[in-house]
Structure 1
Amino acid sequence: MPSIDITGMPEEQVEAIAKMAFGGDLGWHIGPFLLAVIIDGILFGIVSQQYITWWTFSNSSERKSYAYLTHYLIIASIAYTIFEISYGMHNFVYNFGKYRAFLEVNFPQVVPILGWITSAPVQIFYTERSFRLNGRNWYLVGLLGTLICASFGMTIWILVICQWISSELQAELIVQPVQSWQCLTLAIDLIITTSIGWGLYKSKTGWSDTNALVNKLMLITLETQLGPTILMLGFVIEFAISPPTTLGIFFEQLIPKFYVVGYLATLNSRVSLRRASQSVISAQQMTPPALMKQNSYNAGFGQLHQATVKIETETYTESYQLQNTPPGINRKPVIYEEAEISSPTQWVEHLEFTPNESQSQSTLVNNGLNIV
């Protein structure tokens, strides 16, 4: 679209210019306005379901700072969705059939600042987690904090410059501020994702349980950060190729909700990890020890196993030859034949006790043999 100042022009002339700008391909030029509102509504439904899940399972045990942040983000999401609906109603209901409505900058000029209000708290949340995972790295916090503040400055700059723009036809005048804001936001997302992934990677140990958990956390980090990062990357590429097109508005309007979806997905992932851990423990308690799988460093990436310690034992046997017991000094060894004692009953029948008064003890008599 050419850069045209429509200040002071009559409405009929502005309408003719807008029809020339958008009427060639309605789907390409006007479709992004409608799709942004529809997809934002779908994302708000996802956010609502995530918030209900968090409220059910984590609200009572959540840290106060995280709980306040979650409540704030859901309120900000509601306000942003109301803004999107108002923008859609303005374009497609109150100004139905009028092309000049899509040239107005009253709504688009506040999208960056509204997006920062929603995305900056999420970025601060991930900055705090990255700070702890990387050994309380204050340099990292300083870098990310500076970039977040600079991003806020860019949104204010865009809002100020838009006061001097009459329509979307002059979008080329804000290319540099918008690109600066885009690059700052993209840099923040990339640094956060990389630093959290690196911190988790350094947390790996030789235990398969720990490594499997770390791998899951790295995957969750990638999944939750991938949405807004890819969306902002697409916004940067599109705006660099063709700044005046309306496709950039589509990316710009969806970015805030993707941050909230990723944040709530991170919080709710703890519930699924806790359930998986409890199911593994229950399965291990019900499984006989003989059927437990041996722990392995390399095999622990697929699923969690019971941590086991294998102990090898060796038994040594040492034998000694004992000497024959010497006979007592008052006794003589008597050798009996097997036949003489083969019948225990006969032995008992002929066993008698006779007193021995001279030695004050008893003498056992058996078939004429005296055994003292």
Structure 2
Amino acid sequence: MNVNAFNSDTIGGFDEAGAKALFAKDAKFMLQCQMASLIIDTFLAGVLLPQFITYFMYQKDDKLWTKGVVLWCSLWSFAITCYYWAYMSYLFVDCYGLWLPWLEVRWLALMPLFDVLCVCVVQSFFAYRAYLLVRRNKFIYALITALILAAAGGGIGVTIVFGSQPSLLGADKSGPTLITWTATTTAADVVIAICILWGLLQSKSGWSHTDKLVTRLIRLTFEAQLPPTFLAMAYVIEWSQTPSSLLGAVFQALQSKAYTIGLLFTLNARLTFTVSQDATKSHVTPQVYAMTDRKPTQLEVTVQQETYIHNDMYAQQNAQQQTKHAAKSDSISDYDEQHAVTNENGSRARLTSPDNMA
């Protein structure tokens, strides 16, 4: 690799005056491309960070190799962001007001290598998932693996060929390797997406709940796979038109983040699917992520007990009749007792007393 650091007065046959004349008419466009790369990459790093934290917070029991894939890709994505910051600091702080450093290739030449180290791992992860969905078809898995290896070779080739050029104007020399890199990357994404979609469509069983879940998984596949695929295609189209333009750096800045965010988006979506299934059974609105560090709210059931007095008409009538009968019995008893006393006494003169009877 030609390490053309800014330690000489000329780069690729251009001095400061020649570089200024070369970039003068496109100065605004070049600055916009570099600032767009920095802003977009930093923004996507901010999107990636909470996804990374969420994964290790809620999926601690995931497989070890899956955790390794997430950790590797995330760390490389954050490292690329730091690399962009260092590159922008070099252009706008260390070499402020100079045009000659814009011709250097030593910073941009390493970007394809960084992308390969991140993207190929993500593609390998999805390739294994596709292999499982197509019923462990080894031919499909071998085809995807060959495309991934070809993409890795193309990316490393871009780093070697482009890095050996004396200046940015020699970017067109890396055409075959760059086309190989982006074309095989796109082909691998397309094959992986087709295999996953085929496997999901074959999983439909006719049950409404299962079919609804499969539909959500298909939509998730499109959301995770299409953005990086479109980025690779856009990069090829842009490079074929303006190979020495810095607009390609914008697409390249998005590539590693797009794949890593798609990976974490897919893995974290499993939480939503799990909670949704539980919510379907319990008919409650699910809470997927805790907003604080407190424990999840337990389900509270309030039981309200009310006592009702049944008014039985027949029982009430029987009670009234018994009451009347008891009252009548009491009156009769009083009459009999009084009558008995009268018979016993006869009269107050005791004329009817047995002792006075003849």
1:11 to partner: Cα distance: 10
1:74 to partner: Cα distance: 2.0
Q: How does 1:25-64 map to 2 (within 5 A)?
A: 25-59=26-60, 61-64=61-64
Map Cα deviations across residues 209-247 of structure 1 (whole Å, 9 max, x no partner): 111000000101110112211111111111122222111
Where does residue 186 of structure 2 map in the other structure?
186
Q: In 2, Cα distance between the equivalents of 1:139 and 1:246?
A: 39
Map Cα deviations across residues 300-323 of structure 1 (whole Å, 9 max, x no partner): xxxxxxxxxxxxxxxxxxxxxxxx
1:186 to partner: Cα distance: 1.0
Where does residue 223 of structure 1 map in the other structure?
223
Q: How does 1:276-287 map to 2 (within 5 A)?
A: 276-283=276-283
Where does residue 138 of structure 1 map in the other structure?
138
SS at match of 2:96: coil
Cα 1:8/1:180, change in 2 over 3 Å = farther
Kept in 2, the 8 Å contact 1:50–1:265? The answer is yes
Where does residue 248 of structure 1 map in the other structure?
248
1:8 to partner: Cα distance: 8.0
Where does residue 127 of structure 2 map in the other structure?
127
1:281 to partner: Cα distance: 1.1
1:20 to partner: Cα distance: 2.7
Q: How does 1:1-372 map to 2 (within 5 A)?
A: 9=10, 13-59=14-60, 61-283=61-283
Identity of aligned residues (%): 30
Map Cα deviations across residues 110-156 of structure 1 (whole Å, 9 max, x no partner): 11110000111100000000000011011111011111111121122
Q: Which amino acid aligns with 1:175?
A: G
Q: In 2, Cα distance between the equivalents of 1:201 and 1:25?
A: 50
Structure 2 unpaired stretches of 5+: 1-7, 285-358
Kept in 1, the 8 Å contact 2:189–2:225? The answer is yes
**Cα root mean square deviation, aligned:** 2.0
Kept in 2, the 8 Å contact 1:144–1:188? The answer is yes
Map Cα deviations across residues 28-72 of structure 1 (whole Å, 9 max, x no partner): 22311121111111111111100111122112x211111121122
1:10 to partner: Cα distance: 7.5
Q: Which amino acid aligns with 1:69?
A: V
Q: How many residues align?
A: 278
Q: Which amino acid aligns with 2:55?
A: W
Q: In 1, Cα distance between the equivalents of 2:22 and 2:202?
A: 54
Q: Which amino acid aligns with 1:64?
A: L
SS at match of 2:148: helix
Kept in 2, the 8 Å contact 1:148–1:185? The answer is yes
Report which of the two has the higher share of helix: 2
SS at match of 2:283: helix
Q: In 1, Cα distance between the equivalents of 2:181 and 2:265?
A: 26
Map Cα deviations across residues 164-198 of structure 1 (whole Å, 9 max, x no partner): 31111111211221112111111111111121111
Structure 1 unpaired stretches of 5+: 1-6, 285-372
Where does residue 327 of structure 1 map in the other structure?
none
Kept in 2, the 8 Å contact 1:22–1:30? The answer is no
Kept in 1, the 8 Å contact 2:203–2:214? The answer is yes
SS at match of 1:198: helix
1:23 to partner: Cα distance: 2.0
Cα 1:111/1:195, change in 2 over 3 Å = same
Q: In 2, Cα distance between the equivalents of 1:244 and 1:202?
A: 46
Kept in 2, the 8 Å contact 1:30–1:246? The answer is no
Q: In 2, Cα distance between the equivalents of 1:253 and 1:157?
A: 18
Cα 1:262/1:280, change in 2 over 3 Å = same
1:159 to partner: Cα distance: 2.3
SS at match of 1:98: coil
Kept in 2, the 8 Å contact 1:104–1:168? The answer is yes
1:21 to partner: Cα distance: 2.9
Kept in 1, the 8 Å contact 2:95–2:101? The answer is yes
